[in-house]
Amino acid sequence: KAGVTQTPRYLIKTRGQQVTLSCSPISGHRSVSWYQQTPGQGLQFLFEYFSETQRNKGNFPGRFSGRQFSNSRSEMNVSTLELGDSALYLCASSSGTVPGEQYFGPGTRLTVT
Amino acid sequence: DQQVKQNSPSLSVQEGRISILNCDYTNSMFDYFLWYKKYPAEGPTFLISISSIKDKNEDGRFTVFLNKSAKHLSLHIVPSQPGDSAVYFCAALYNQGGKLIFGQGTELSVKP
């Protein structure tokens, strides 16, 4: 089975712009979660989608949004980028068989200048 | 507020010895606790988990212990191998959903 894939792997944007990141989960996985990793804050949960519906949400401003398509692929969008949004964005998918067991992609490294 | 804390940013152990990684939490409503391992330039990989109703779970060289009264869990790796060198994240889950609360991570270095 192919693992979780994320595109693009690296991205450089300017303050004020918006960005869309993409995630393809493992085939058959219906849950997709997004996390932000920064050196100061560690891994922080952004949101989870299950069957095209947002099931859980973290404590991030409304500039961060996401969606899931009928094939379980997911996208996250960040509008009006700030310097502090520079981070590694990780996507994870799960089958729900083992609670908490998630399969992570390699991440998208976003740099905001 | 940091609901899951790993107070040791790094740990160095000799090959063949035991590695003990610690984690504290504040929310008694967590259902499951998990450990993930992360190598540079890769996403975290699930290692082992434990339900809040258990106090121990073993999988090969890895054992997780849960002390609910102290709100503390630990991961034991015996024997430690150089390939175990990575960053280890403790995580907690409630409502069995997809929202994992992670600690800050502990970087383990196993020296030959």
Token pair for residue A81? 């980028």
A92–B43 C-beta distance less than 8 A: yes
Q: Quick: pLDDT tens for B63-74.
A: 999 999 999 999
Distance from CA of B62 to the nearest CA of A (A): 16
| Spacing of C-alpha B20 from chain mean position | 9
| Residue-wise pLDDT tens digits, B1-39 | 679 999 999 999 999 999 999 999 999 999 999 999 999
For chain B, helix (H) and strand (E) counts, in that order, are 0, 11
Alpha carbon distance B51, B72 (integer Å)? 13
How far is B39 from B89, CA to CA, in rounded Å? 11
Show residues of chain B in contact with A50, CB under 8 Å: 98
- Given phi > 0 = left and psi -120 to 50 = alpha, else beta, which region is B81? beta
Which residue among A32, A45, A107 places its CB closest to the CB of B99?
A45
C-beta atoms of B89 and A102 within 8 A: no
Summarize pLDDT for B87-101 with one digit per residue, the tens.
999 999 977 677 899
Q: What is the 3-state secondary structure (H, E, C) of A28-54?
A: CCCEEEEEEEECCCEEEEEEEEECCEE
CA distance B86 to chain A (A): 15
Check whether A2 has a pLDDT greater than 90. Answer: no
The chain A residue lying nearest B42, using CA atoms, is A106
| B39 in contact with chain A, both atoms CB, cutoff 8 A | no
Q: Given this model, what pLDDT does residue B111 score?
A: 96
Is B27 an interface residue toward A (CB < 8 Å)?
no
pLDDT, tens only, A43-94: 999 999 999 999 999 999 999 999 999 999 999 999 999 999 999 999 999 9
Answer yes or no: do A90 and B44 touch at CB < 8 A.
Answer: yes
**Chain B, nearest residue to A31 by Cα:** B98
